[in-house]
Amino acid sequence: MKSSNDNHKAVYMDYAATSPVDPVVLEKMIPYYQVKFGNATSRNHKFGWEAEEAVETAREHVAKLINASAKEIIFTSGATESNNLALQGVVNMYKQKGNHIITCVNEHKAVLDPANYLGTLGYDITFLPVDGQGMIDLAQLADAITPKTILISLMAVNNETGNIYPTAEIGKLAKEKGILFHTDATQAVGKIEIDVDKMGIDLLSLSAHKMYGPKGEGALYVRRKNPRVRLGAVQHGGGHERGMRSGTLNVPGIVGLGEACRLCHTRFKEDFQYISKLRKMLLDGLTKEVDMMVVNSHPEKCVPNILNISFEYIEGESLMMGIDLIAVSSGSACTSASLEPSYVLKNAGLGDELAHSSIRFSFGRFTTLDDVQFTIDSMKRVVKKLREMSPLYELVKEGVDLSTISWSAH
């Protein structure tokens, strides 16, 4: 599908999968690879002291972004490890109290898979359904709680649709019932305001590379009082990170995460306003130029950097191939190697065809207005071209109700 756009540079609209490292973050990290390369636990010389100081400064930056104490931040290799540590750490420590965990069908695989694993070990796992907008019902959550419930694990923001869950309400319910509350806040931290105290969060997972930091670095917030949360270690060997996560600390990565969090905190309003402007421009442009599209992101309860749209009467793979100069996702990046339609959208009631033709656009600090306009123009061109080859689209445009047609094999 050749066009005048073929010489245009590729445009990155997949920030929810990963983001470029901010130059300020990279500059902060570099010395800790070659000059200040000490081990943060080597406390008998200058190199170790420098590394330890850098780690503790980063801990403070991470904590400040979510209104926590620095002592409540445990460094991990990323949100997947943080989620595993939260779920498995809680059951390891609190199995005498109960064996029931509540989560949701639309969680990221980094929560669904460890939850399913715990199910094979005999733990009772409840997977809450979602409504037609991909949201959970708080009444259903309350009804699912039993005397054996020890943990509620529900994400703050959905990674495919950008929908914002009622985190504060979930935290309030958990507190009233004396149940620990974990949230996978990977897509929320730095995008919307997160306050672990106001929201009643006991455990929170986050990842550096979703907010202009390096890949392979993350953190788990673990509440220290009201209540004091304890976790059974999943990884043993040295007692690092308050005994919860052993292993030599990735000092450059931690420095990068800390600086990324500092920038997100200081630039929060600026980033929020700019990215909201980009989202409105994209949605308004597509709405004007492309008909018969379904917006899968919640109209109000959605982060500004994600927009998920399905395009009716178009085959999904053809659409992705047609916009090959635009980096987008057809589902979550961790599972998009599969040709299966998005389980997140199917759980919200979307049919296979619409789920297959869904595109997640996500943008960030370095996305330009030109990038958004190029995306609008490309989508208009490719959708028009593909629909010219769709007899179903023509019938619908002529006013034919497809449900009244009796399709024959002859």
Q: Which residue ranges of the chain lie beneath pLDDT 50?
A: 1-4, 332-337, 410
Evaluate whether 254 touches 36 at the Cβ level (below 8 Å).
no
Token pair belonging to 61: 């930056």
> 11-20+267-390 with 23-266: one CATH topology?
no
Q: Give me the residues paired with residue 207 across strands.
A: 218
pTM: 0.92
Tell me how many helices (H) and strands (E) the chain has. Answer: 14, 12
Tell me what pLDDT residue 126 has.
98
Centroid of chain to Cα 179:
24
Tell me what pLDDT residue 2 has.
47
pLDDT per residue over 296-325, tens digit each? 999 999 999 999 999 988 877 888 889 999
DSSP code of residue 199:
T
User: In 291-384, at which residue ranges do the beta strands (DSSP E only) sit?
Assistant: 293-295, 306-311, 326-327, 358-362
In whole angstroms, give the CA distance from residue 146 to residue 2.
59
**Lookup result for tokens 């699912």:** 144
Tell me what pLDDT residue 7 has.
67
Tell me what pLDDT residue 405 has.
59
Tell me what pLDDT residue 403 has.
58
Tell me what pLDDT residue 138 has.
97
Tell me what pLDDT residue 398 has.
58
Assigned architecture for domain 23-266: 3-Layer(aba) Sandwich (3.40)
Tell me what pLDDT residue 12 has.
97
In whole angstroms, give the CA distance from residue 281 to residue 265.
25
**From 104, 261, 302, 334, the catalytic residue:** 334
The DSSP code sequence of 60-83 is HHHHHHTT--GGGEEEESSHHHHH
In whole angstroms, give the CA distance from residue 34 to residue 205.
29
pLDDT per residue over 118-176, tens digit each? 999 999 999 999 999 999 999 999 999 999 999 999 999 999 999 999 999 999 999 99
Tell me what pLDDT residue 313 has.
83
pLDDT per residue over 328-347, tens digit each? 998 544 444 455 778 998 88
Tell me what pLDDT residue 318 has.
84
Active site (annotated) includes residue 264:
no
If one looks up domain 11-20+267-390 in CATH, what number appears?
3.90.1150.10
In whole angstroms, give the CA distance from residue 34 to residue 29.
10
Tell me what pLDDT residue 402 has.
54
Residue ranges covered by each domain of the chain: 11-20+267-390, 23-266
Q: Of 230, 295, 217, give the one whose Cα is nearest residue 260.
A: 217
Q: Which residues contact 277 (CB under 8 A, 6 or more apart)?
A: none
In whole angstroms, give the CA distance from residue 374 to residue 388.
21
Tell me what pLDDT residue 91 has.
96
- Measure CA of the first residue to CA of the last residue in the chain; give whole Å: 32
In whole angstroms, give the CA distance from residue 229 to residue 43.
28
